Amino acid sequence: MDLKHSAGGAGENSETFIATSKSTDMITPKEKEGKGVKAAGGHNPPAEGYKVYARRWAVLILFVFYSSSNAMQWIQYTIINNIITRYYGISDKWVDWTSMIYMILYIPLIFPGSWFLDKVGLRITALVGIVGTCVGAWIKVFSVDPSLFYVSFIGQSIVALAQVCILSLPARLAAVWFGPDQVSSATSVGVFGNQLGVAVGFVLPPMLVPNSPDLETVGSDLQMMFYLVAGLTSILLVLMVIFFQDKPPTPPSAAQEAAQLLESSGAEQVSFMQSLKNLMTNRNFIFLLLSYGINVGVFYAISTLLNPVVLKYYPGHEVDAGRIGLSIVLAGMLGSVVSGIVLDKTHKFKETTLAVYALSMVGMWIFTFTLDTGHIAVVYLTASLLGFFMTGYLPVGFEFGAELTFPEPEGTSSGLLNASAQTFGICFTLFYSELFTTFGDIAANITMAVMLIVGTIITAITQSDLRRQNAQVPASGQAGNP
């Protein structure tokens, strides 16, 4: 049954959940009589039950657009690689670096970034990120001149720095604001923001900056694109300052209440370095770090080199290269949402992770051997199949990591997963580029497909240790009055 309750005196709609149930079915205080149990950590659940607040959706949607505004700039140059190299008079390797700078800057900053998130919370971290994204976007506005690529690269680097305050947030935001049967879906939606930005980054630059023979026209088009992005990030900065909140008045689940009690207890609080040590000695999490890094690293490599790969078989189809990238990401968005729903309904984290990973590998093999069919519609189809599973895997990996590492902060585990992805992304992008230049796309894509086989095997041997789910279940024989 679904009954609405308002937060006491707050005038805001909220939903009340059974204290330690995996179900989000809401119950009235009368129905709860005699059913109270002690939640994770041995404390009694609150008399009114755990509540989630309607404002959580506003916070999540705002984060989606904030994340998108940063991610859309990642692939902004490489998807029009041939146009950028001609306008600025640079090699395509420099254009590749506008993508890889995102990965390189993230790696050394992941630990201070995770520490910062743990210390100051969601709101301050998010505001620092949107300020960096906005500043970097405006710097690029002043880089429109064939001699000013270095200015554009500086702006891109600042935006890349800002992603440290973004990539680790989805799992943390979901855990802080959403109940146990919505947390996986909320994480999926949070990751959806990054994918949405990548999708826009694939499709918008080829549309706004067509391959004109006149360099002045190209410069004018670049100027318009940079202004649009800078204006969007400025609007989002204002909205974030006004509406983005740190956490709800009360925890949404037993697991989150236990985590907050642990954080607030000076005697029991685990230091960031101790938390990091706990994660790095967790065998199953190490396996996930490797498999997650391989999967996402392959996606980064394919995305960065998509323009030259498509143009090899379909010359003059710059716009199609962007749209194929869009197809990959849009299919991945759908895959993310479907995966999140499956996780919330079944709580089969290991099984879902393995299935999505194996299908990503299959999709890579299909994509590899259908590029040269001569029908670009086939590439759209196979790329979409690849994207559905490969980018649909992102929130699955985040959630599996949160399960394996509870009660360690979600921001720290997510940050390490992202660091692994960036590391593999750099290596795979450089390796893929070299293979593509020397041996062609078939050899490069087969190598990536083989790496996904390795990742699938690692996923298969990872054990299903669902610690966060166990924290939602009452200890055997314990009962208490609500």
Q: Is residue 256 part of a domain?
A: no
Q: What percentage of the chain exceeds 70 in pLDDT? A: 81
Shared domain check, 378 and 242: no
pLDDT band at 415 (very low <50, low <70, confident <90, very high): confident
Tens digits of residue pLDDT in 176-216: 888 777 777 787 788 778 878 888 888 889 889 988 888 99
Q: Cα separation of 158 and 135, whole Å?
A: 7
Q: Cα separation of 417 and 402, whole Å?
A: 10
Shared domain check, 309 and 208: no
Tens digits of residue pLDDT in 9-27: 444 555 544 443 333 333 3
How distant is the alpha carbon of residue 473 from its chain centre?
28
3-class DSSP state of 13: strand
Say if CB 4 and CB 52 are below 8 A apart.
no
Domain of 207, in residue numbers: 54-251
The mean per-residue pLDDT over the stretch 146-155 comes to 94
Residue 147 CB burial class (10 angstroms; 0-12, 13-18, ≥19) = exposed
Confidence (pTM): 0.67
* Beta bridge partners of residue 16, listed in sequence order: 51
The residue with greater pLDDT, 293 or 348, is 293
Q: Please list, in sequence order, all residues whose beta carbon lies within 8 angstroms of the beta carbon of residue 469, skipping any fewer than 6 positions away.
A: 22, 347, 403
pLDDT band at 2 (very low <50, low <70, confident <90, very high): very low
Residue 4 — φ and ψ, nearest 5°?
-90, 140
For the ranges 113-122, 150-159, 197-206, 470-479, the lowest mean pLDDT is seen at: 470-479
Peptide bond into 407 cis (omega under 30): yes
Shared domain check, 318 and 217: no
Shared domain check, 368 and 236: no
According to the model, what pLDDT value does residue 359 have? 92
Residue 233 CB burial class (10 angstroms; 0-12, 13-18, ≥19) = buried
Q: Is residue 311 part of a domain?
A: yes
Say if CB 334 and CB 388 are below 8 A apart.
yes
Query: Could you tell me the CATH number of the domain that includes residue 329?
Result: 1.20.1250.20
Domain count within the chain: 2
Name the residue with tokens 């041997």.
461
Say if CB 159 and CB 386 are below 8 A apart.
no
According to the model, what pLDDT value does residue 394 have? 79
Q: Which two tokens stand for residue 320?
A: 């199609």
For the ranges 78-92, 173-187, 219-233, the lowest mean pLDDT is seen at: 173-187
Mean pLDDT of the chain: 80
Tens digits of residue pLDDT in 151-165: 999 999 999 999 888
* Terminal Cα distance for the chain, rounded: 20
Tens digits of residue pLDDT in 32-78: 333 333 444 445 555 456 676 677 888 899 999 999 999 999 889 98
* pLDDT over threshold 70, residue 249: no
The mean per-residue pLDDT over the stretch 215-231 comes to 93
Shared domain check, 245 and 110: yes
Say if CB 198 and CB 71 are below 8 A apart.
yes
